[in-house]
Structure 1
């Protein structure tokens, strides 16, 4: 049986930016965004489906002439109170859920060792490919599926990023991510969207269910990811060839045991 869910979404966005001194490019630049996202169902007594109030802060600081620091931080009040027993009322994190998320925080060094080599170290979004949402070559950052309606959102990876410019048209990029980060799954009313119900043989009833997540050991040999990309422009066409050695961040069922 398919269940159709209808949502009403209200989103308000305010954008702001500021620079301590616009005449000095080396000063700290602060910009941000204030978002409130409220959703409710059009049936089932108009149950509240999503509550998110997000303050996004971006800091951009040019340290020296050839280097800069950049970060993006989310301060969020997300979710609805999940109080089950009276003791939960003493936990403000349950009554008024909030979190702090570092989306990006990296240092970029242009002209590292040689004028044609750039180095970026830290948590960063590494975008490969040019497609907007469905981009099969953009596979270095883990999926952020928390809000399944925000299709294509990804988290930053803690990585070392080297980019070498052969000339104005061709470049070679190497990425090293020291440890594996899995995708985070949806929450709220769509929490089971990627986990469909299990079809049982006729006459069998599923009384209980458990699973075991198989993760790589956190060492350089098993959990690291590496990628290499050659990018160029020729005859009016942009092209790239890339290869990634690593794990798929989305879980899948490899074995089912019925007892």
Structure 2
């Protein structure tokens, strides 16, 4: 586990704060999120998530100094806080803060000063829940999203609205002092609406998550529909391939929001400095993707462009309107199962992982397109009359297939001073790329993503990553990609008003073709259990580049999240 400590000086609006970040970790649901102390030295202890990291914040009086000592344990960490007063240092120990859903009980240590021995004015009141053999947690979440294009086009879906609701619960039971059983269930309702006449509206009610996990001191086992994260990079992670994605809004959503739980069985064995992990996927699950009639569809708004063009005859418009897609998915059989293994090990300086996956590509390979003899450059603004001049029309469907895929990867993470270094590299056999005849060609690729992140004493967060995608056996007729594709991506965040308001910008700039994507946003967190985000998505570049092909999809959006 990568850990980093920071100090923030007092301001007019904020007290002096010391905090510690546990990279890529989350607190147990049983721990309280805020503990009020107010003993003249320590005002409050706060626990939460910050940029996918677990953060523990100590609000300290201005004339006090605080030092945080961290001790890693098998399934979490123990934070010991020493506060220097005007007389002599005193030590206050905090209960174990787990790095995952599990929780480790605090152990007595002869080097820790018991709370009863502290001076009365320095006494700490900790409202830790009483230990129970069975813990039940319920929750509900509501997500609302609405986006409006900045330009109105007759052939475009100018407005997108989405409403999601999730209701779930978990039960954690201690079978003995060494074994814990946990089950999680979550239902989801999802309504996606486009204002374009040809676009498909989608309403789903589904079992979003359902898993059963058994944990022991040296191993754990989980089965069910679950989200499992591999890889170290943030918004672009070639090793995070265990779960399919919802790509109906492309990359305008965060990676974790796009990923969907899938049916998996995982077993892990924990050693002194290593973890061995094995995962089986019993059947294939594809990513969600529109083929036509959306800003984010595989063929963008190509069909709507034809339907709205005044010079195209009605017979051809009728043909375009009737285009259909025939998908063939792998059957649910033993021979179509997927398997993955990963070895993680820790040194004094860094964490590493080596992985191999034998599975399926979750995006389709187009083996046949019904319109033949065309040469498309990928630019959605291409005049369809010129594109169809030499076209040969057939009564076939768009034939989509799903193919096997093998991935070998290495990932790493370390912290030097206050800067985190992490990354991953993958060799993938193979990925489907769209070509100029609107069918796919599959090619082997190598993909490196690595970068740094840093949080300043004034709570500025900087994330900078570099991406290099190399396509082997490259063909010039592949759309949107060169043989070597180099990009810079990341985000910058700054909370103000004691964390109640946050300004952020996500960016992705492709050096190879000079195209880019920017997502500035403002997030309001003032109201309990509620966040409201207002932002915009800006795409730029030539029409035949990946980001440039979405140039007409610039939009403003508002998002509301409520949790209970």
- What TM-score do you get using the length of structure 1 for normalisation? 0.71
Q: Does 1:150 align with 2:225?
A: no
Q: Which protein has the bigger strand share? A: 2
1:120 Cα offset (Å): 0.1
1:34 Cα offset (Å): 2.1
1:188 Cα offset (Å): 9.1
Deviations 1:86-107 (A, max 9, x none): xxxxxxxx8xx74323222101
SS in 1 for 2:339: strand
Q: Provide the C-alpha distance between the structure 2 equivalents of 1:213 and 1:155, rounded to a whole number of angstroms.
A: 20
Larger radius of gyration between Structure 1 and Structure 2: 2
Worse-superposed segment, 157-166 or 56-65: 56-65
Alignment partner, residue 138 of structure 1: 240
1:110 Cα offset (Å): 0.8
**Map of 1:35-46 to 2, 5 A cutoff?**
35-44=143-152
Contact 2:167 / 2:187 at 8 angstroms: preserved in 1?
Answer: yes
Partner residue of 2:348 out of 226, 231, 235: 235
Contact 1:232 / 1:240 at 8 angstroms: preserved in 2?
Answer: yes
1:186 Cα offset (Å): 4.0
Partner residue of 1:122 out of 221, 224, 228: 224
Deviations 1:4-24 (A, max 9, x none): xxxxxxxxxxxxx999xx646
Q: Provide the C-alpha distance between the structure 1 equivalents of 2:253 and 2:292, rounded to a whole number of angstroms.
A: 13
Worse-superposed segment, 157-166 or 52-61: 52-61
Q: Provide the C-alpha distance between the structure 2 equivalents of 1:75 and 1:24, rounded to a whole number of angstroms.
A: 34
Alignment partner, residue 160 of structure 1: 265
Change (3 A) 1:228 1:121: same
Worse-superposed segment, 188-197 or 31-40: 188-197
1:125 Cα offset (Å): 0.5
Q: Provide the C-alpha distance between the structure 1 equivalents of 2:326 and 2:188, rounded to a whole number of angstroms.
A: 31
Alignment partner, residue 187 of structure 2: 73
Unaligned runs of 5+ in 1: 1-16, 85-93, 199-204
Worse-superposed segment, 32-41 or 231-240: 32-41
Contact 1:33 / 1:57 at 8 angstroms: preserved in 2?
Answer: yes
1:122 Cα offset (Å): 0.4
1:213 Cα offset (Å): 2.9
- What TM-score do you get using the length of structure 2 for normalisation? 0.35
Deviations 1:225-248 (A, max 9, x none): 100000111131111000001110
Alignment partner, residue 206 of structure 2: 101
Change (3 A) 1:67 1:60: same
Contact 2:249 / 2:296 at 8 angstroms: preserved in 1?
Answer: no
Q: Does 1:220 align with 2:334?
A: yes
Q: Provide the C-alpha distance between the structure 2 equivalents of 1:165 and 1:110, rounded to a whole number of angstroms.
A: 11
Partner residue of 2:135 out of 27, 40, 55: 27
Contact 1:159 / 1:177 at 8 angstroms: preserved in 2?
Answer: yes
Contact 1:40 / 1:47 at 8 angstroms: preserved in 2?
Answer: no
Change (3 A) 1:42 1:255: closer
Change (3 A) 1:55 1:232: same
Q: Provide the C-alpha distance between the structure 2 equivalents of 1:42 and 1:142, rounded to a whole number of angstroms.
A: 30
Change (3 A) 1:77 1:193: closer
SS in 1 for 2:366: coil
